Amino acid sequence: MRYAHEVGKVRAAERALMARLPEGALMQRAAAGLASVCARLLPSVYGADVVLLVGSGDNGGDALYAGARLARRGARVAAVAAGSRIHEDGAAALRRAGGRVLDDPAGAEPVVARADLIVDGLTGIGGAGGLREPHATLARWASEATGTVVACDVPSGVDASSGRVDGAAVHADVTVTFGTHKPGLLIDPGAAHCGVVELVDIGLGDDLPDPDVVAPWPVDVRPPEPGPESDKYRRGVVGILAGSRRYTGAAVLSTGGAVRGGAGMVRFASEAEPVDLVRQRWPEVVTTVIDPGAGGALDRVGRVQAWVVGPGLGTGDDAEALLEAVLRTELPVLVDADGLTVLARRRKLLARDAPTVLTPHAGELSRLIGVDRERVEARRLENVRRAAEELTATVLLKGSTTLVAEQDRPVRVNPSGTPRLATAGTGDVLSGLVGALLAGGMPALEAAAAGAYLHGLAARIAAAGPGDAGTAPISAFDVIGALPEAFRLLD
């Protein structure tokens, strides 16, 4: 796992470590790591034009000391002071090494434009609320420049604890972060400003508490492997209630996600038309025609170990009755799509003890918790946590950064997502996939995180195809087809 800590925890760990170190030692560790990364990014340090954008905080000091190290190796280093107060000792070190400090940020545009490398030390991890002038203009010049942009700890303008971006922000090619990742480096919109994130160890490890956010590696999301004694029942039987006469595709796609998601058996139930289509496309699925509004519909489906309900089901009285019946069971349940629309008006249905996974996009989450969609998208971490607490469920918030939250647990960030998933039906595939993992015995948080990872990885595989760079358009069926290869790549 990659662990990320919010600003308050980082500050506390830094204070604890600094109390045991000589004065200035922690900043020198950070500067050494920053300078090392910058040197690797330059074809040659000697003769390179390096510009430091320096604010009043410690990140400005890190940038100045790193610039001094580069200047001693022959780089031409100029620091642009964004205000009257910058780190005095760092500025003195830069001057001693042959660098210079420019006190007029308004005249720095040509210097920034011709730089080979630009180090963003305008604000630190404590910056919030958007950049003021001249910081905002300097951030824009850096983002528009042709040189490589390296952000110090977090790109200026990005909220380190949440990923919020209010106004101007630096678009970095590389972000060098110190001690631990910060949530804003992993969560959009902030993550989109970071480029490649390099973690520099400055010795905080023993002083850091449990993380606030984690991002998995492949080994962290690998589902359990079938054993020698496994059979289709031990591997997990998932029941899917999806589709209608109007939305037949959702039935086929969610069922396909479960079939290719490792379920030992998939039981599908719906009206006659979607059942016929599922039979034709997935002959291995056990199908049942039900009347969604009739009592006892679940009994006709047969025994399952987890339910998926909602994709294409409709939002009328019959769908509501079916959702209510499923949520009254003591089995794990995943609710998606139309099921979420029903839950938005009947949240009391979520009062249950068994695991519940909800998989909304931003619009669906806004209806579930009564928050504007724009605010959900701008404050994804805040609102997915709120939803997990209010709804007493595991909440998988789909989007540019997929987040999985459960009350009193670190939020999982999915690193495998791709914009290629922004096409109709991929959410239905995800619901079936996560449902299969739930039926196989994975806990709700782990099943949702693993499903999101495999889903994104499959989309990347489908978009890549043989011999190209991963830019091909894909369909939801392409994602289903790539799932076996995604599972193989976890090994």
Q: Output the known binding site for K(+).
A: 59, 120, 156
Looking at residue 207, the DSSP 8-state letter turns out to be G
DSSP H or E stretch at residue 102:
strand 100-102
| Beta-sheet strand order (sheet of 117-121) | 100-102, 76-81, 49-54, 117-121, 148-152, 174-178, 196-200
Looking at residue 225, the DSSP 8-state letter turns out to be P
C-alpha 398/C-alpha 404 separation (Å) is 9
Angstrom CA distances, 259 to 76, 266, 271, 284, 285, stand at 60, 7, 20, 8, 8
Looking at residue 106, the DSSP 8-state letter turns out to be G
Looking at residue 191, the DSSP 8-state letter turns out to be G
Angstrom CA distances, 2 to 185, 340, 396, 401, stand at 11, 31, 19, 15
C-alpha 389/C-alpha 398 separation (Å) is 18
> Using an 8 Å Cβ cutoff, are 395 and 384 in contact?
yes
Residue type for position 438: L
Instruction: State the binding site.
Output: 58-62, 120, 124-130, 153, 156, 250, 312, 361, 398-402, 427-428
Instruction: State the binding site for AMP.
Output: 398-402, 427
C-alpha 392/C-alpha 407 separation (Å) is 7
Instruction: State the binding site for (6S)-NADPHX.
Output: 58-62, 124-130, 153, 250, 312, 361, 428
